[in-house]
Structure 1
Amino acid sequence: KETEVKERSVFDIPIFTEEFLNHSKAREAELRQLRKSNMEFEERNAALQKHVESMRTAVEKLEVDVIQERSRNTVLQQHLETLRQVLTSSFASMPLPGSGETPTVDTIDSYMNRLHSIILANPQDNENFIATVREVVNRLDR
């Protein structure tokens, strides 16, 4: 009802009176402010749309990168498995001094760590063993 009263009072203002002109100026000022606000929102919207498009492009690029990295990881994982198998078969006849441990595909990582520790810890005591390790490694390079 308040809007009806307001509308009625607007229509009840006699044309070209001071009150009408003031009311008209107020509406024009309000309309200018609304247009200005609308233009600002449109500018913000355009800027945000550019950001969104930029983000979409970045996401697409990252998705391509992820696919490439997954592919590389698969290739590297296959290479690692092949390397583990080659090392296991190459060192199968070489039990570690002290423990007598020989490698399996599942234990080759720990075997190689222990082998490295043994070589660094007592190189003088394990000269023959180290020479055999060198021979095995040299055969791997071929």
Structure 2
Amino acid sequence: MVGETETPPKAKEEPQLPEAQLILTKIDEKIETIHTNGQKEETSIERKKRIRGKRKKLNPDAPKYPLTGYVRYTNERRSAIKDENPTKTHIEITKQLATEWLELPEEKKQAYMDEAEKDKMRYISEMKEYSKTHNVELRRKKKKKKGNSEVSEKPVTAPGPSITAPIVSQEKPLKEGDRDIQIFTEEFLEHNKEIESELKIMRKKLMDLEQQNSNLERYVEGMKGGVEKLEFEQTTLNTKNNALEKYQRELKTMLVTALSGVALSDKKTPSMDNIEMYMHELSNLSGSPAILNKAKELIRKLDFQSINV
């Protein structure tokens, strides 16, 4: 109908990024890139204003946004990685930088964090001064605009349709700058989607590694229990072996002492070195029953219970 304003198209909602430190650092990197080019990431209100043909201009006097420690590290390393790997894409380089940052030693990482903290304090200080000056300027412009609007409202007597008609004409056309921002915004959203996709893959790999680590920890605990059990069994066996060796020595000593006067047919007498061979030959001595009976009588008198184990 004539005089009705055309409803502007509803802006697509920006996809929510996962809340993870790596995402925040990558978003900070993108924000810093935007500030380096003299631009600023669009808020939802600014995006709606852009669609309606009302682009908000940036104030060049505003303080420069502070850089995080991760962004400082990537700015320092990005050119070197790009020179070393000219075939790598921007996403692959960003992924490598994120991996390097996670593996960076704490003492080296702290240097970047300290610089970031100094930059943050600088930004807060400059922002306070800027806010004071900027707020005063905004109030002055607001008063001036209010005075101009009061003067312009008095002679207006045209009916409603004639007033709304120019509003429609102001909302429909888009400037060249608006189209540039729209293209940039789509690229920015696409970049965020790619980052989110990579993060999903990295998160899955992290979960797999955590599961493997958990399995290894359980395996190590089981191995520790097995080692402790084997050590206990070894200690027990060593104790028994020592006791048996002691019993063997005392038994040999007792037999050598008792049978020292019993010589075999070849005049062999027992000693600590040959007692085992001596006893074997004695048991097979069937041709000299007198010697065998004498040895049996001497062994029968031995008190084996007196051997201490």
TM-score by length of 2: 0.38
Q: Does 1:106 align with 2:276?
A: no
Q: What is the CA–CA distance in structure 2 between the aligned matches of 1:47 and 1:101, rounded to whole Å?
A: 67
CA distance in 1: counterparts of 2:264 and 2:194, whole angstroms = 95
The aligned counterpart of 1:34 is 202
Matched residue count: 129
Q: Secondary structure at the match of 2:302?
A: helix
Structure 2 counterpart of 1:24: 192
- Counterpart of 1:6, as a letter, is H
Query: What is the CA–CA distance in structure 2 between the aligned matches of 1:79 and 1:134, rounded to whole Å?
Result: 21
Q: Using the alignment, how far apart are the partners of 1:75 and 1:84 within structure 2? A: 14
**Separation (CA, whole Å) in 1 of partners of 2:289 and 2:281:** 16
The CA distance in 1 between the partners of 2:222 and 2:280, in whole Å, is 48
Taking the TM superposition and a 5 Å limit, the aligned residue runs for 1:1-142 are: 1=79, 2=82, 6=90, 14-15=184-185, 17=186, 19-97=187-265, 99-116=266-283, 118-119=284-285, 123=286, 125-140=287-302
Structure number with bigger Rg: 2
Alpha carbon RMSD of aligned pairs, Å?
A: 2.5
In the TM superposition, residue 54 of structure 1 has moved relative to its aligned partner by 1.1
Q: Deviations over 1:70-120 (max 9, x none)?
A: 1111111111111001110111111011x101112232122223323x33x
How far apart, in 2, do the equivalents of 1:68 and 1:82 lie?
Answer: 22
Residues of 2 paired with 1:81 and 1:93: CA distance?
20
Q: Which has the higher helix share?
A: 1
Q: Which amino acid aligns with 1:115?
A: L
Q: 1:6: Cα distance to partner?
A: 2.9
1:131 Cα deviation from its structure 2 partner: 2.1
What is the TM-score with the length of structure 1 in the denominator?
0.76
Partner Cα separation in structure 2 for residue 136 and residue 90 of structure 1: 6
CA drift at 1:37: 0.8
Task: Tell me the alpha carbon deviations over residues 22-78 of structure 1, each in whole angstroms, 9 at most, x when there is no partner.
Answer: 433332221111111111111111111111111111112222222222111111111
Stretches of structure 2 lacking an aligned partner (at least 5 in a row): 1-78, 84-88, 95-180, 305-309
SS at match of 2:184: coil
Amino acid at match of 2:279: M
Distance in 2 (CA, whole Å) between partners of 1:115 and 1:34 is 81
Q: Which ranges in structure 1 are unaligned for 5 or more consecutive residues?
A: none
Q: Distance in 1 between matches of 2:213 and 2:281?
A: 63
CA distance in 2, matches of 1:40, 1:55: 22
